[in-house]
Amino acid sequence: MSKIKTKKDMRITVDHHLEEDVKKKIVIDTAVDGKTGKIDFNELKSGGFIKQRQKDLFTVRLRCPGGRIPVKKLKKIAEVADKYGGDYVHLSFRQSLEIPYVNYKTFNGMIEELKEVDQNIASCGPRVRVPTACSGCEYNPNGLSDTQKMANVVNEKFFGYRCNHKFKISFSGCPIDCARTSEMDLGFQGAVFPEWHEDPCTGCTICASACLEGAITPHPKTGKPIFDSSKCLYCSDCIRACPTNAWRQGKTGHVVRVGGRHGRHPLNAAIIAKFVSDEDVPKVIEGILEWYKKNGEGKGRIRIGEILMEPGNIESLAKHLEGVLGDNAIKKPRPPEPVRINKFD
């Protein structure tokens, strides 16, 4: 158990150890290298050890925030996988590296060896999961936000926080949304509002060619842009393309999506805010987790998206976040929408 104090003084208790519905500890004896010890099976369940079909064998999921693994760690992981696992490693759909075919009797030794390079084990179960993120703004030309930095902030601050159900957070650097923020319980996507300045504009029309959304039409005579902000996705292509710096970066931050999920019955997340700053992201997460806890009480394993589809709840969440979101809030947010992928007739 570790306690994290956040700015807002909300106490977040990270509990990697117990499932709510399992009170009894199931303890088994293990023998590793001649030494015997005990392993708590519940710890395994919440700690990223996933039972395989094969007797005694588990897949060990590593904690890789943003899908980024320093090469030094990777070398050690390869060594550990070779020693304790099977012939391969697997990349999970949420960017974590998984080592399959590990015998539970060797867990302790494996954990110790991974700790040498500060490599931790991931989580499963009803809690905030390892955050995912796209490749990062340092080298991806489309990147508008530092998704890798933000994934680390979430990993440090919120990983493991107990919820009604799993809670997935992701960061995309631009509206292409590679990190699928619309399918997450909570997603943040980089956005920049473009501001046009008339003086430096030469009417070259490059911005109109650069805009994929038809938000910029060149004036028939002057070539200067006619901007329809309702079509703008805040991708910043016009700013990047403009040869004379007439388009400039205006309000910048994250679009906030909440209540998405994938699985059998996917939900398309609700957009509740835009241009939320990096500094406000932890406050938004805290606010949403608070609301989820309060409104999920007594409802058992339910995702936040399902709660948000109940009448009045998206408004209730908006109200709860009023103070944090301020002017960045979407005025009339719509609840998450079901996406039917398993409809056969």
Partner 1 sequence: MSNVNIKANSEIEIDDSINLSGEVCPMTFVLTKMRLDALKPGQHLEVVLPAGEPMRNVPISVKEEGHKILKVEKMGNMFRLIIEKS
Establish if 226 lies at the interface with partner 1 (CB under 8 A). Answer: no
Establish if 240 lies at the interface with partner 1 (CB under 8 A). Answer: yes
Establish if 209 lies at the interface with partner 1 (CB under 8 A). Answer: yes
**Which region among 72-80, 120-128, 205-213, 329-337 touches partner 1 (by CB under 8 A)?**
205-213
Establish if 141 lies at the interface with partner 1 (CB under 8 A). Answer: yes
Establish if 237 lies at the interface with partner 1 (CB under 8 A). Answer: yes
Contact 40, 104 (CB under 8 A): no
Q: How many CB atoms lie within 10 A of CB 293?
A: 13
Our CB check for partner 1 shows the closer of 109 and 218 to be 218
Cα–Cα distance, 270 to 272 (Å, whole number) = 6
| Residue 269 DSSP one-character state | P
Least spacing, CB of residue 68 vs partner 1, in Å: 23
Establish if 210 lies at the interface with partner 1 (CB under 8 A). Answer: yes
**Which region among 10-18, 123-131, 185-193, 202-210 touches partner 1 (by CB under 8 A)?**
202-210
Contact 199, 208 (CB under 8 A): no
Contact 108, 32 (CB under 8 A): yes
Our CB check for partner 1 shows the closer of 34 and 220 to be 220
Angstrom distances, CA of residue 196 to CA of 96, 155, 199, 239, 262 = 41, 37, 9, 9, 38
Contact 173, 234 (CB under 8 A): no
Retrieve residue 127's tokens. 């809690």
Least spacing, CB of residue 15 vs partner 1, in Å: 46
Retrieve residue 178's tokens. 């590679």
Retrieve residue 155's tokens. 């990993």
Our CB check for partner 1 shows the closer of 90 and 240 to be 240
Our CB check for partner 1 shows the closer of 30 and 205 to be 205
Retrieve residue 135's tokens. 């490749």
Locus of tokens 């996933």: 50
Contact 192, 239 (CB under 8 A): yes
Question: Could you say which of 117, 204, 302, 339 contacts partner 1 (CB under 8 A)?
Answer: 204
Strand pairing report for 247-258 and 216-218: unpaired
Least spacing, CB of residue 204 vs partner 1, in Å: 4
Question: Could you say which of 243, 300, 323, 326 contacts partner 1 (CB under 8 A)?
Answer: 243
Question: Could you tell me which of 243, 237, 47, 251 has the C-alpha nearest to residue 160?
Answer: 47
Least spacing, CB of residue 213 vs partner 1, in Å: 12
Contact residues for 312 (Cβ-Cβ < 8 A; gap 6+): none
Establish if 220 lies at the interface with partner 1 (CB under 8 A). Answer: no
Question: Could you tell me which of 194, 204, 339, 192 has the C-alpha nearest to residue 269?
Answer: 339
Our CB check for partner 1 shows the closer of 54 and 209 to be 209
Our CB check for partner 1 shows the closer of 152 and 205 to be 205
Print the binding letters for residues 261-300 with partner 1: x by CB under 8 A, - otherwise: ----------------------------------------
Terminal CA-CA length for the chain: 49
Establish if 206 lies at the interface with partner 1 (CB under 8 A). Answer: yes
Least spacing, CB of residue 244 vs partner 1, in Å: 8
Cα–Cα distance, 165 to 304 (Å, whole number) = 8
Cα–Cα distance, 335 to 310 (Å, whole number) = 8
Least spacing, CB of residue 227 vs partner 1, in Å: 17
Question: Could you say which of 124, 241, 309, 339 contacts partner 1 (CB under 8 A)?
Answer: 241
Question: Could you say which of 205, 217, 252, 316 contacts partner 1 (CB under 8 A)?
Answer: 205
Binding residue count for partner 1, defined by CB under 8 A: 12
Establish if 222 lies at the interface with partner 1 (CB under 8 A). Answer: no
| Interface with partner 1 (CB under 8 A) | 141, 204-206, 209-210, 212, 237, 240-243
